[in-house]
Amino acid sequence: MWWVLGGVLVAAVVAGFLYNRSSSTAENAKVVRPASSVGPHSGVLVGNANAPVTITEFGDFQCPVCRELHQLWEPTIEQLVQQGKVKFEFVGLQFLDQGTTESLRSAAAGVCAADQNKFPDLYNALYDGQSRTENSGFLTNDQLLSFGRSVGLTDPTFANCVKSGRYAGWVAKNTDATTRRGITSTPTVLLNDKQISNSVAADPQRLTDAVNQATGQG
Amino acid sequence: MLAGVWGWAGVAKLGDPDAAVRAVRAYDILPETFVKPFAWGLPFVELALAVLLLVGLATRPAAWASAVLLLVFIGATASVWARGLQIDCGCFGGGGQSSADATSYLRDIGRDGLLLCLALLVAAGAPSRLALDNLLSPEEP
Protein backbone atom coordinates (compact mmCIF):
# COMPACT_ATOMS: atom_id res chain seq x y z
CA MET A 1 0.00 0.00 0.00
CA TRP A 2 2.98 2.32 0.34
CA TRP A 3 3.16 2.63 -3.44
CA VAL A 4 -0.43 3.94 -3.47
CA LEU A 5 0.49 6.59 -0.91
CA GLY A 6 3.70 7.50 -2.75
CA GLY A 7 1.92 7.86 -6.08
CA VAL A 8 -0.91 9.92 -4.61
CA LEU A 9 1.44 12.26 -2.72
CA VAL A 10 3.72 12.86 -5.72
CA ALA A 11 0.66 13.56 -7.88
CA ALA A 12 -0.70 15.89 -5.17
CA VAL A 13 2.53 17.91 -4.97
CA VAL A 14 2.76 18.28 -8.76
CA ALA A 15 -0.95 19.13 -9.14
CA GLY A 16 -0.82 21.55 -6.20
CA PHE A 17 2.24 23.33 -7.56
CA LEU A 18 0.76 23.71 -11.05
CA TYR A 19 -2.69 24.75 -9.79
CA ASN A 20 -1.39 27.33 -7.33
CA ARG A 21 1.18 28.72 -9.72
CA SER A 22 -1.57 29.31 -12.26
CA SER A 23 -3.66 31.22 -9.71
CA SER A 24 -0.86 33.24 -8.09
CA THR A 25 -1.12 36.99 -8.62
CA ALA A 26 2.61 37.43 -8.09
CA GLU A 27 3.34 34.89 -10.83
CA ASN A 28 0.72 35.86 -13.38
CA ALA A 29 -0.40 39.46 -12.97
CA LYS A 30 0.67 41.95 -15.59
CA VAL A 31 3.39 44.10 -14.06
CA VAL A 32 3.33 47.79 -14.91
CA ARG A 33 6.40 49.51 -13.49
CA PRO A 34 5.31 52.89 -12.14
CA ALA A 35 7.39 55.91 -13.00
CA SER A 36 6.76 57.21 -9.48
CA SER A 37 8.31 54.23 -7.67
CA VAL A 38 11.93 55.20 -7.76
CA GLY A 39 13.10 54.39 -4.25
CA PRO A 40 15.94 51.95 -3.57
CA HIS A 41 13.38 49.26 -2.67
CA SER A 42 11.04 50.11 -5.53
CA GLY A 43 8.86 52.20 -3.23
CA VAL A 44 7.37 55.65 -3.62
CA LEU A 45 9.76 58.44 -2.67
CA VAL A 46 8.80 61.60 -0.80
CA GLY A 47 11.24 64.47 -0.42
CA ASN A 48 14.50 65.54 -1.98
CA ALA A 49 16.05 62.65 -3.89
CA ASN A 50 19.50 63.94 -2.82
CA ALA A 51 18.72 63.90 0.91
CA PRO A 52 21.52 62.05 2.72
CA VAL A 53 19.27 59.71 4.70
CA THR A 54 16.62 57.37 3.36
CA ILE A 55 13.95 56.11 5.71
CA THR A 56 12.06 53.19 4.20
CA GLU A 57 8.77 51.91 5.54
CA PHE A 58 7.54 48.51 4.42
CA GLY A 59 3.87 48.90 5.25
CA ASP A 60 0.40 47.55 4.67
CA PHE A 61 -2.55 49.92 4.76
CA GLN A 62 -4.55 47.31 6.66
CA CYS A 63 -1.89 46.86 9.34
CA PRO A 64 -2.94 48.38 12.69
CA VAL A 65 0.63 48.68 13.99
CA CYS A 66 1.57 50.55 10.80
CA ARG A 67 -1.25 52.98 11.52
CA GLU A 68 -0.04 53.39 15.09
CA LEU A 69 3.51 54.05 13.90
CA HIS A 70 2.20 56.49 11.30
CA GLN A 71 0.42 58.50 13.97
CA LEU A 72 3.50 58.57 16.17
CA TRP A 73 6.18 59.40 13.61
CA GLU A 74 4.38 61.38 10.92
CA PRO A 75 5.21 64.89 12.30
CA THR A 76 8.86 63.92 12.77
CA ILE A 77 9.16 62.42 9.30
CA GLU A 78 7.52 65.48 7.76
CA GLN A 79 9.91 67.79 9.61
CA LEU A 80 12.99 65.76 8.66
CA VAL A 81 11.87 65.67 5.01
CA GLN A 82 11.28 69.45 5.02
CA GLN A 83 14.72 70.01 6.51
CA GLY A 84 16.16 68.09 3.57
CA LYS A 85 17.81 65.53 5.84
CA VAL A 86 15.57 62.65 4.89
CA LYS A 87 13.84 61.23 1.88
CA PHE A 88 10.99 58.92 2.85
CA GLU A 89 10.30 55.75 0.92
CA PHE A 90 7.08 53.81 1.29
CA VAL A 91 6.88 50.27 -0.03
CA GLY A 92 3.22 49.27 0.05
CA LEU A 93 2.76 45.55 0.55
CA GLN A 94 0.08 42.90 0.43
CA PHE A 95 0.80 41.19 3.75
CA LEU A 96 -2.53 40.95 5.49
CA ASP A 97 -4.80 39.87 2.66
CA GLN A 98 -6.24 36.44 3.33
CA GLY A 99 -8.14 35.45 0.23
CA THR A 100 -8.93 39.17 -0.18
CA THR A 101 -7.31 42.03 -2.08
CA GLU A 102 -7.74 44.98 0.28
CA SER A 103 -4.04 45.38 1.08
CA LEU A 104 -3.14 44.79 -2.57
CA ARG A 105 -5.57 47.33 -4.01
CA SER A 106 -4.89 50.00 -1.38
CA ALA A 107 -1.12 49.71 -1.92
CA ALA A 108 -1.71 49.93 -5.67
CA ALA A 109 -3.94 52.99 -5.14
CA GLY A 110 -1.05 54.60 -3.27
CA VAL A 111 1.12 54.20 -6.36
CA CYS A 112 -1.72 55.65 -8.50
CA ALA A 113 -1.72 58.68 -6.18
CA ALA A 114 2.06 58.96 -6.49
CA ASP A 115 1.65 59.21 -10.26
CA GLN A 116 -0.49 62.29 -9.58
CA ASN A 117 2.02 63.71 -7.05
CA LYS A 118 -0.50 63.16 -4.27
CA PHE A 119 1.03 60.20 -2.49
CA PRO A 120 1.59 61.75 0.97
CA ASP A 121 -2.03 62.91 1.12
CA LEU A 122 -3.51 59.53 0.21
CA TYR A 123 -0.98 57.75 2.46
CA ASN A 124 -2.15 59.84 5.41
CA ALA A 125 -5.82 59.37 4.51
CA LEU A 126 -5.52 55.59 4.17
CA TYR A 127 -3.81 55.15 7.53
CA ASP A 128 -5.99 57.70 9.34
CA GLY A 129 -9.17 56.16 7.93
CA GLN A 130 -8.12 52.55 8.45
CA SER A 131 -10.85 50.05 9.33
CA ARG A 132 -10.64 48.49 12.80
CA THR A 133 -11.05 45.06 11.24
CA GLU A 134 -8.72 43.55 8.64
CA ASN A 135 -10.21 42.03 5.50
CA SER A 136 -13.67 43.30 6.44
CA GLY A 137 -14.52 44.37 2.89
CA PHE A 138 -14.07 48.02 3.87
CA LEU A 139 -11.45 48.89 1.26
CA THR A 140 -13.56 48.59 -1.86
CA ASN A 141 -12.50 50.47 -4.99
CA ASP A 142 -15.29 52.98 -4.25
CA GLN A 143 -13.88 53.52 -0.76
CA LEU A 144 -10.38 54.01 -2.20
CA LEU A 145 -11.76 56.57 -4.66
CA SER A 146 -13.58 58.26 -1.79
CA PHE A 147 -10.27 58.55 0.12
CA GLY A 148 -8.79 59.93 -3.10
CA ARG A 149 -11.52 62.56 -3.48
CA SER A 150 -11.03 63.61 0.16
CA VAL A 151 -7.46 64.64 -0.68
CA GLY A 152 -8.26 66.22 -4.04
CA LEU A 153 -7.66 63.25 -6.31
CA THR A 154 -10.60 63.91 -8.59
CA ASP A 155 -8.76 63.32 -11.85
CA PRO A 156 -10.30 60.44 -13.89
CA THR A 157 -6.76 59.13 -14.41
CA PHE A 158 -6.60 58.22 -10.71
CA ALA A 159 -10.03 56.56 -10.83
CA ASN A 160 -9.08 54.54 -13.90
CA CYS A 161 -5.78 53.54 -12.33
CA VAL A 162 -7.52 52.27 -9.17
CA LYS A 163 -10.42 50.55 -10.93
CA SER A 164 -8.25 48.80 -13.50
CA GLY A 165 -5.81 47.58 -10.82
CA ARG A 166 -3.02 49.09 -12.89
CA TYR A 167 -0.36 48.52 -10.24
CA ALA A 168 -1.76 45.37 -8.58
CA GLY A 169 0.78 43.17 -10.35
CA TRP A 170 3.55 45.55 -9.33
CA VAL A 171 2.53 45.40 -5.66
CA ALA A 172 2.23 41.59 -5.77
CA LYS A 173 5.71 41.26 -7.31
CA ASN A 174 7.13 43.77 -4.84
CA THR A 175 5.60 41.85 -1.93
CA ASP A 176 7.12 38.62 -3.21
CA ALA A 177 10.54 40.28 -3.61
CA THR A 178 10.29 41.83 -0.14
CA THR A 179 9.53 38.55 1.65
CA ARG A 180 12.29 36.88 -0.35
CA ARG A 181 14.81 39.33 1.14
CA GLY A 182 13.67 38.29 4.61
CA ILE A 183 11.22 41.04 5.49
CA THR A 184 8.20 39.17 6.78
CA SER A 185 6.39 41.69 8.95
CA THR A 186 4.95 45.17 8.69
CA PRO A 187 5.87 47.77 9.61
CA THR A 188 9.55 47.21 8.97
CA VAL A 189 11.64 50.36 8.97
CA LEU A 190 15.06 50.80 7.39
CA LEU A 191 17.34 53.76 7.88
CA ASN A 192 19.86 53.92 5.06
CA ASP A 193 19.10 50.26 4.37
CA LYS A 194 19.66 49.13 7.96
CA GLN A 195 16.67 47.98 9.99
CA ILE A 196 15.79 50.08 13.03
CA SER A 197 13.36 48.92 15.68
CA ASN A 198 9.81 50.21 15.60
CA SER A 199 10.29 51.64 19.09
CA VAL A 200 13.13 53.86 17.79
CA ALA A 201 11.07 54.83 14.74
CA ALA A 202 8.08 55.74 16.90
CA ASP A 203 10.08 57.94 19.30
CA PRO A 204 10.61 61.44 17.79
CA GLN A 205 13.80 62.11 19.75
CA ARG A 206 15.42 58.73 19.11
CA LEU A 207 14.45 58.85 15.42
CA THR A 208 15.88 62.35 15.05
CA ASP A 209 19.06 61.28 16.87
CA ALA A 210 19.41 58.26 14.55
CA VAL A 211 19.03 60.50 11.50
CA ASN A 212 21.52 63.05 12.84
CA GLN A 213 23.97 60.27 13.59
CA ALA A 214 23.59 58.99 10.01
CA THR A 215 24.24 62.47 8.63
CA GLY A 216 27.26 62.89 10.88
CA GLN A 217 25.59 65.56 13.00
CA GLY A 218 24.88 63.34 15.98
CA MET B 1 -11.58 13.29 12.52
CA LEU B 2 -8.02 13.33 11.16
CA ALA B 3 -9.42 13.30 7.61
CA GLY B 4 -11.69 16.23 8.50
CA VAL B 5 -8.78 18.31 9.86
CA TRP B 6 -6.60 17.60 6.80
CA GLY B 7 -9.52 18.44 4.51
CA TRP B 8 -10.22 21.70 6.32
CA ALA B 9 -6.53 22.68 6.39
CA GLY B 10 -6.13 21.88 2.69
CA VAL B 11 -9.23 23.75 1.51
CA ALA B 12 -8.45 26.79 3.68
CA LYS B 13 -5.03 27.18 2.03
CA LEU B 14 -6.32 26.94 -1.53
CA GLY B 15 -7.70 30.45 -2.01
CA ASP B 16 -4.52 32.50 -1.71
CA PRO B 17 -1.32 30.95 -3.09
CA ASP B 18 0.67 34.15 -2.50
CA ALA B 19 -0.30 34.18 1.19
CA ALA B 20 0.78 30.53 1.41
CA VAL B 21 4.23 31.45 0.08
CA ARG B 22 4.50 34.34 2.56
CA ALA B 23 3.48 32.01 5.40
CA VAL B 24 6.16 29.44 4.53
CA ARG B 25 8.82 32.14 4.09
CA ALA B 26 7.94 33.61 7.49
CA TYR B 27 9.11 30.37 9.15
CA ASP B 28 12.57 31.11 7.70
CA ILE B 29 13.45 27.41 7.59
CA LEU B 30 13.34 26.23 3.98
CA PRO B 31 15.81 27.40 1.32
CA GLU B 32 14.11 29.66 -1.24
CA THR B 33 14.14 26.90 -3.89
CA PHE B 34 11.78 24.78 -1.81
CA VAL B 35 9.46 27.52 -0.56
CA LYS B 36 7.00 27.57 -3.46
CA PRO B 37 6.89 23.79 -4.06
CA PHE B 38 6.20 23.28 -0.34
CA ALA B 39 3.68 26.12 -0.02
CA TRP B 40 1.79 25.12 -3.14
CA GLY B 41 2.10 21.35 -2.81
CA LEU B 42 1.12 21.15 0.87
CA PRO B 43 -2.63 21.93 0.52
CA PHE B 44 -3.01 19.20 -2.10
CA VAL B 45 -1.01 16.75 0.04
CA GLU B 46 -3.32 17.52 2.97
CA LEU B 47 -6.39 17.01 0.76
CA ALA B 48 -4.94 13.75 -0.59
CA LEU B 49 -4.35 12.47 2.96
CA ALA B 50 -7.91 13.49 3.87
CA VAL B 51 -9.35 11.49 0.95
CA LEU B 52 -7.14 8.44 1.60
CA LEU B 53 -8.06 8.37 5.30
CA LEU B 54 -11.73 8.96 4.57
CA VAL B 55 -12.15 6.18 2.02
CA GLY B 56 -9.74 3.88 3.81
CA LEU B 57 -7.26 3.48 0.98
CA ALA B 58 -3.64 2.95 2.04
CA THR B 59 -4.92 3.86 5.48
CA ARG B 60 -1.88 2.89 7.52
CA PRO B 61 0.70 4.51 5.23
CA ALA B 62 -1.51 7.63 5.11
CA ALA B 63 -1.65 7.66 8.90
CA TRP B 64 2.15 7.32 9.10
CA ALA B 65 2.53 10.11 6.57
CA SER B 66 0.14 12.21 8.67
CA ALA B 67 2.25 11.55 11.75
CA VAL B 68 5.44 12.59 9.93
CA LEU B 69 3.79 15.76 8.61
CA LEU B 70 2.50 16.64 12.06
CA LEU B 71 5.97 16.11 13.52
CA VAL B 72 7.32 18.51 10.88
CA PHE B 73 4.69 21.09 11.88
CA ILE B 74 5.47 20.68 15.59
CA GLY B 75 9.19 21.03 14.91
CA ALA B 76 8.68 24.12 12.74
CA THR B 77 6.46 25.80 15.34
CA ALA B 78 8.92 25.02 18.14
CA SER B 79 11.71 26.40 15.96
CA VAL B 80 10.04 29.79 15.35
CA TRP B 81 9.09 29.99 19.02
CA ALA B 82 12.69 29.27 20.09
CA ARG B 83 13.99 31.90 17.65
CA GLY B 84 11.56 34.50 19.00
CA LEU B 85 9.82 35.02 15.65
CA GLN B 86 6.25 36.25 15.78
CA ILE B 87 4.24 34.48 13.13
CA ASP B 88 0.87 32.94 12.62
CA CYS B 89 1.24 29.24 11.80
CA GLY B 90 -0.76 29.49 8.58
CA CYS B 91 -2.17 26.08 9.49
CA PHE B 92 -5.60 26.89 8.10
CA GLY B 93 -4.77 29.49 5.48
CA GLY B 94 -3.29 32.95 5.89
CA GLY B 95 -0.19 32.98 8.06
CA GLY B 96 2.91 35.13 8.07
CA GLN B 97 3.39 37.89 10.59
CA SER B 98 1.27 38.18 13.70
CA SER B 99 1.56 39.14 17.31
CA ALA B 100 1.71 35.47 18.27
CA ASP B 101 2.82 34.80 21.83
CA ALA B 102 3.97 31.75 23.76
CA THR B 103 0.36 30.78 24.44
CA SER B 104 -0.56 30.56 20.76
CA TYR B 105 2.58 28.55 19.96
CA LEU B 106 1.79 26.17 22.84
CA ARG B 107 -1.79 25.86 21.60
CA ASP B 108 -0.62 25.03 18.05
CA ILE B 109 1.88 22.48 19.33
CA GLY B 110 -0.73 20.96 21.69
CA ARG B 111 -3.28 20.67 18.89
CA ASP B 112 -0.75 19.06 16.54
CA GLY B 113 0.37 16.76 19.36
CA LEU B 114 -3.20 15.51 19.84
CA LEU B 115 -3.56 14.97 16.10
CA LEU B 116 -0.23 13.13 16.11
CA CYS B 117 -1.59 10.75 18.77
CA LEU B 118 -4.67 10.17 16.61
CA ALA B 119 -2.52 9.49 13.55
CA LEU B 120 -0.43 6.97 15.50
CA LEU B 121 -3.61 5.24 16.73
CA VAL B 122 -4.85 4.92 13.14
CA ALA B 123 -1.43 3.70 12.00
CA ALA B 124 -1.39 1.03 14.72
CA GLY B 125 -5.01 -0.09 14.38
CA ALA B 126 -6.79 -2.31 11.85
CA PRO B 127 -8.67 -0.69 8.93
CA SER B 128 -12.41 -0.34 9.41
CA ARG B 129 -14.81 -2.79 7.78
CA LEU B 130 -15.81 -0.21 5.16
CA ALA B 131 -12.22 0.66 4.17
CA LEU B 132 -11.22 0.25 0.53
CA ASP B 133 -8.08 -1.50 1.78
CA ASN B 134 -10.27 -4.56 2.45
CA LEU B 135 -11.21 -4.75 -1.23
CA LEU B 136 -7.62 -4.54 -2.42
CA SER B 137 -6.22 -7.05 0.05
CA PRO B 138 -9.12 -8.88 1.69
CA GLU B 139 -8.36 -10.86 4.84
CA GLU B 140 -8.22 -14.62 4.53
CA PRO B 141 -11.36 -16.30 5.97
The residues, any chain, with a CB within 8 Å of residue A193's CB and separated by 6 or more, are A40, A54, A56
Residue A154, in any domain of the structure: yes
Residue A151, in any domain of the structure: yes
Any B CB within 8 A of A15 CB: yes
- What are the residue ranges spanned by the domains of chain B? 2-127
In this complex, how many residue pairs, one in chain A and one in chain B, have their CB atoms less than 8 Å apart? 103
Nearest CA-CA distance, residue B60 and chain A, Å: 8
Asked if A13 and B37 come within 8 Å (Cβ–Cβ), the reply is yes
pLDDT in tens, B28-86: 999 999 999 999 999 999 999 999 999 988 899 999 999 999 999 999 999 999 988 87
- Whose CA is closest to A65, among A134, A6, A2? A134
Residue A131, in any domain of the structure: yes
Percent of chain A topping pLDDT 90? 81
What residues of chain A lie within 8 A of the CB of B40, using their CB?
A: 16-17, 19-21
- How far is the C-alpha of B71 from the C-alpha of A51, rounded, in Å? 51
- Whose CA is closest to B85, among B75, B95, B97? B97
Residue of A nearest to B19 (CA): A98
Any A CB within 8 A of B110 CB: no
Contact A60, A192 (CB under 8 A): no
pTM: 0.83
> ipTM, 2 decimals?
0.82
What residues of chain B lie within 8 A of the CB of A25, using their CB?
A: 18
What residues of chain B lie within 8 A of the CB of A16, using their CB?
A: 40-45
Nearest CA-CA distance, residue B136 and chain A, Å: 9
Residue A11, in any domain of the structure: no
Q: Hey, what amino acid is at B107?
A: R
Q: For chain A, what is the radius of gyration of the CA atoms?
A: 19
User: What is the extent of the structural domain holding A159?
Assistant: 35-214
State the pLDDT at residue B93.
66
Residue A14, in any domain of the structure: no
pLDDT in tens, A48-107: 999 999 999 999 999 999 999 999 999 999 999 999 999 999 999 998 888 889 999 999
- How far is the C-alpha of A216 from the C-alpha of B11, rounded, in Å? 54
Residue A93, in any domain of the structure: yes
Residue A70, domain CATH: 3.40.30.10
- How far is the C-alpha of A65 from the C-alpha of B114, rounded, in Å? 34
- How far is the C-alpha of B17 from the C-alpha of A27, rounded, in Å? 10
Nearest CA-CA distance, residue B5 and chain A, Å: 17
Per DSSP, B140 falls in state: P
Mean pLDDT of chain B, nearest integer:
85
Any A CB within 8 A of B127 CB: no
User: How many structural domains does chain A have?
Assistant: 1
Any A CB within 8 A of B93 CB: yes
Any B CB within 8 A of A134 CB: no
State the pLDDT at residue B13.
87
Stretch 79-108 of chain A: residues touching chain B, C-beta under 8 Å: 94-95, 97-99
State the pLDDT at residue B140.
46
State the pLDDT at residue A28.
87
Whether residue B95 is predicted with pLDDT greater than 70 in this model: the reply is no
Stretches where chain A sits below pLDDT 70 are 218
Residue A164, in any domain of the structure: yes
| Half-sphere exposure for A21 (CA within 13 Å, toward CB) | 11
- How far is the C-alpha of A143 from the C-alpha of A140, rounded, in Å? 5
pLDDT in tens, B123-140: 887 667 667 777 776 654
Any A CB within 8 A of B116 CB: no
Residue of A nearest to B27 (CA): A184
Contact B19, B96 (CB under 8 A): yes
Residue A1, in any domain of the structure: no
Facing residue for B45 by CB, picked from A16, A175, A180 = A16
Looking at the DSSP assignment, which residues form a beta bridge with residue A91? Answer: A58
Residue of A nearest to B58 (CA): A1
